[in-house]
Structure 1
Amino acid sequence: MRRRNLALVLCAVAEHSPLSRADVAGRVGLTRAAVSSLVDELIGRGAVTEAAATASGRVGRPGRALAVSGEGPAGLGLEVGVTHLGACVVDLRGDPRVWRRVERANAGRPAGQVLAEVAALAAEAEAEAATLGLRVQGRILAVPGVVPNESGAVVERAPNLGWQGVRLADHWPDPDTVPEPENEANLGALAEYWNTEQTAETFVHVSAETGVGAALVIEGRLFRGARGFAGELGHIPVHPDGPDCACGARGCLEQYAGEAAVLREAGLAQHGPARAALAEPGDPVSLLAEHAGAGHAPTLAALDRAGRALGLALTSAVDLIDPDSLVLGGAYAELAEWLLPSVRAELADRVTVRPWAPEALRPSALGRRGPVLGAAQTTIRRIMADPTLLPAG
């Protein structure tokens, strides 16, 4: 009961601060004495601060304003992408305070080597956070792969990295700081839900880098499926007789709307492995946006082809799940100007069993920062739900 009441008080302060202790008591329906005791504990755990007395407009002594602490507890989000590593630290208010992104070609590299570099990046981010008065309470790692429910920190399959059955603890230098892995698409969807006011309670979040991933949020809760495999939109066949996919099937969405496929179709990739080398220097997504903005016909045609394939796959998601909205995240958000027309056209033609409005499909404002931000904020959400996760002062 005390754990529940601590969360009740902390959430009230987070949502409505500045509040006095009396204000909190009025909002949560507890006695002033009970609230005062709970506030004292939250202050001792570093979750809440109490400012100097301020006038409240009521008769009596002015109250002292409570607020969620901008120092102390923090969450660390980490990310392994096919082309980059990332880190983000957020404070207890959910505000990003530290950002790190390092370009790395991670496909095919040994998992131990990649994770050692992530651990070094994490240490740098934590050191900078410490200079801001923040102490990391939890670590989540976003990965472009499958993380089964109750996995014990195992990435079962990340085909675009070349990972299979990777147990993080076997490669992490400090056993006390091993992060908890989670699928990057899931974390991107949670970041969208937590940070964007217009996000509906039930939506599909689809994003892309080398692969294509999706996450389902149903009535405000992430749907992971029976074993954690939900959201493999990239391996829905959009053309059954299409090219072979790395997953072993044929004609998957990734072969039409994945980054490598779009680059090849646009003539911006050299011949080579599945993740083709760029024919021009630069970030792949920025390169596509630059050429599309300049009216480069092959790039525009490639993005139109990708959008039509994506719309075809999303039609199945709409008919099966009945979401309020669809959100394009990650690289798709940055290419939305050229993808949206063809995706919307496919949805308009194919979604016939229920009403569907064009504005129900929109790009994310978070872009490629979504997964690492969602990873960092996951720890904060857990603390808000259970402040006893923080050490007592």
Structure 2
Amino acid sequence: MQTGTVNPRAAHLSLALRHVADSADGISRAGIAARTGLNRSTASSLIDELINGGLVKETGSYKGAPRAGRPGTALALRDDGPAGLGIDVNVDYTAVCVVDLTGALRYKHVLAEDQRGLSTREILDRIARLARGAQQAADADGLTLCGSAVAVPGIVDRAHTKVTLAPNLGWRDLDVNEVLPAGLHGTPALLDNEANYAALSESALLRRRASYLFVSGQIGVGSGIVLDGALYRGAHGWSGEIGHLPVDRDGPPCSCGRRGCLERYAGQEAILRAAGMTENAGTTFGVRPTVAMLADRARDGCPATLQALTRAGQILGYTLAACLNLLDLTHVVLGGIYRELAPWMAPPIERELATQFLGAAWSRPTVQVSTYGPEAPAMGAARSVIHDVLTNPSRWLNLHPVRPSAPPRSGR
């Protein structure tokens, strides 16, 4: 096949599979034909191929709109076939997730261990061990990992699966395919910023084709921009670096090499420091303070902690208002540490949006916490693998032998 040509069969398989995936109440072969404009014989043949390839199953009589003759057979995605592996590597934790073709979470492991002071090789070995554990769990559950995706806190080169710059990990020009387990059919890993993948974990907003800004607070601060249900990456894939928007050009130095970036005021270390929780002044002497400790102090009403959280919320809210004035989005989703700290940070964020967002008098953005906790980036990464199967099922079908099937059914 020449470069740039389109295989009609592959395109029709993708179209049919997407309609099955998007039909929450099931759909029949006749329904596929009606919605795609394909004739019933072609639609039925496509479905047979998807069934034989382990992507679609029949679930009983279709309960859709009545029609003459026998009722059709309802179709749904299989949950025992291809699965996606998502890996998230961050400064103080690593996570892996496995999701099946329906997008359901089948395995999760979050390892909360600080990576600071470790060499790149040590971090990569840790990721590889977690990925092998996820593959073993998938195998035990009867799932076949069909690909993997890696989330990192930094700027990435998605075309070459390289981490261009992850300042808080000290990574430059790192090929992430070094971390993958064997046995994924030689498929290169997908790669993206952790906030982008975390934004893709918000399935309810994506189904509604909402426009939202997912803000992920960690050691650094990142964001994923979703416009009408689609992730916006920018011309080079560098969009969403909200943590490096300047708050004060004469402010404290940042790991990116600049000064006064947002993460120096609203990142995890900045908030802990403002609350007086350094390693030698924390609630437990000699133990590195955590966000969980910070939340406990806030619940106990510690004045310094409450002041630090309020101030961080104000600065983050002010920056978010500027972003929303530019992008005009309907939702802000607080993820990462902001999910746990939302009881104290969300009110000042909302106050800033009410006064600094130009459209607040007519339509104030909704501020909500993320659906998932620290596993959100790995969850979104795994779902991005599944998205590729749904949009290009031919690749999966070509890699897996077709099982014998009954003769093709009529075009119901």
TM-score, normalised to structure 2, is 0.86
Distance verdict in 2 for CA 1:52–1:357, change over 3 Å: closer
Q: Does 1:238 align with 2:244?
A: no
Distance 1:149 1:19, change over 3 A: closer
Q: Is the 8 A contact 1:54 1:64 kept in 2?
A: yes
Q: Secondary structure at the match of 2:156?
A: coil
What is the letter of the counterpart of residue 11 of structure 2?
R
The counterpart of 1:187, out of the listed 197, 218, 224, is: 197
Per-residue displacement from partner, 1:290-331 (whole Å, max 9, x unpaired)?
221121211111100100110121122112222222221121
**CA 1:104/1:239 → structure 2, altered by over 3 Å: closer, same or farther?**
same
Identity %: 40
Cα drift, residue 163 of structure 1: 1.1
Please, which moves more after superposition, 52-61 or 304-313?
52-61
The one-letter code matched in structure 2 to 1:254 is E
SS in 1 for 2:12: helix
| Range with bigger deviation, 197-206 or 339-348 | 197-206
Query: 2:32 matched to 1:36?
Result: no
Cα displacement string for residues 144-171 of structure 1 (whole angstroms, at most 9, x for unaligned residues): 1110342x11101111111111122456
Q: Report the alpha carbon displacement of residue 110 of structure 1 after superposing the two structures with TM.
A: 1.8
Alpha-carbon contact 1:108-1:161 (below 8 Å) kept: no
Residues in 2 aligned to 1:292 and 1:94: alpha-carbon distance in whole angstroms: 35
State the Cα RMSD in Å.
2.6
Q: What's 1:214 paired with? A: 223
Which of these residues, 132, 143, 148, is aligned with residue 139 of structure 1?
A: 148
CA distance in structure 1 between the partners assigned to 2:109 and 2:335 by the alignment? 19
- In 1: Cα distance, 2:351 partner to 2:62 partner: 56
308-317 or 197-206, which deviates more: 197-206
TM-score by structure 1 length?
0.90
Residue 161 of structure 1 aligns with which residue? 169
- The code of the aligned residue for 1:7 comes to S
State whether structure 2 residue 293 is matched by structure 1 residue 287.
yes
Q: Give SS of 1:320's match.
A: helix
Matches for 1:75-94 after TM superposition, within 5 Å:
75-94=84-103
Change (3 A) 1:207 1:171: closer
Check conservation: 1:156, 1:165, Cα contact below 8 A.
yes
Give the corresponding residue for 1:256. Answer: 265
Q: Does 1:5 align with 2:5?
A: no
CA-CA distance at 1:241 after TM superposition: 2.6
Unaligned runs of 5+ in 1: none
CA contact (8 A) 1:107 1:162 kept: no
Give the aligned residue type for 1:191.
S
Measure the CA separation in 1 of the matches of 2:61 and 2:348: 58
In 1, the alpha carbon distance for the partners of 2:56 and 2:198 equals 28
Q: How far apart are 1:349 and its partner, in Å?
A: 2.4
Alignment-derived partner of residue 307 in structure 2: 301
Residue of 15, 18, 43 corresponding to 2:26: 18
- Write the distance in 1 (CA, Å) between the matches of 2:285 and 2:161: 37
Q: How does 1:1-393 map to 2 (within 5 A)?
A: 1-16=8-23, 17-51=25-59, 59-150=68-159, 152-170=160-178, 174=182, 176=186, 179-192=189-202, 194-196=203-205, 201-270=210-279, 279=285, 284-352=290-358, 355=361, 357-358=363-364, 360-392=366-398, 393=402
Residue by residue over 1:92-131, the C-alpha shift from the partner in whole angstroms, topping out at 9 and shown as x without a partner, is 1111111111122112422222112211211111111112
What are the Cα deviations for residues 26-48 of structure 1, in whole angstroms up to 9, with x where unaligned?
34332221111101110122101
CA gap of 1:232–1:95, structure 2 versus 1, over 3 A, is same
Q: Quick check: 291-300 or 21-30, which moved more?
A: 21-30
Say whether the 8 Å CA contact 1:200–1:324 is kept in structure 2. no
Equivalent position of 2:408 in the other structure: none
> Do the aligned partners of residues 171 and 7 (structure 1) sit closer, same or farther apart at CA in structure 2, a change above 3 Å counting?
closer
How much does 1:55 deviate? Answer: 8.0
Question: What SS is found at the alignment partner of 2:157?
Answer: coil
Contact map agreement 2:131 2:181 (CA 8 A) in 1 = no
Cα separation, 2, equivalents of 1:206 and 1:290: 23
CA 223–61 in structure 1, closer or farther in 2 if over 3 Å, else same: closer
DSSP-derived class of the 2:106 partner: strand
Q: Which amino acid aligns with 2:176?
A: L
1:213-255: CA deviations, max 9, x gaps?
1121123322222222211111112123322222222221111
Q: What SS is found at the alignment partner of 1:99?
A: strand
**Alpha-carbon contact 2:342-2:369 (below 8 Å) kept:** yes
After the TM superposition, which of the residue ranges 170-179 and 325-334 deviates more from structure 2? 170-179
Relative to structure 1, the CA distance from residue 200 to residue 309 in structure 2 (aligned partners, 3 Å threshold; closer, same or farther) is farther
Whole-angstrom CA distance in 1 between matches of 2:63 and 2:257: 68
Structure 2: segments with no counterpart, 5+ residues: 1-7, 403-412
Deviation at 1:183, TM superposition (A): 0.5
**CA displacement at 1:212 relative to structure 2:** 0.5
Q: Contact conserved, 1:208 with 1:330, CA < 8 A, in 2?
A: yes
Letter in structure 2 aligned against 1:128 = A
Partners of 2:140 and 2:71 in 1: CA distance:
34
Query: Contact between 1:257 and 1:306, CA under 8 Å: does it hold in 2?
Result: yes
Q: Does structure 2 conserve the Cα–Cα contact (< 8 Å) formed by 1:269 and 1:277?
A: no
Q: Is the 8 A contact 2:278 2:289 kept in 1?
A: no
Which structure has more relative contact order (CA 8 Å, sep 6+)? It is 2
Contact preservation (8 Å) 1:149, 1:227 = no
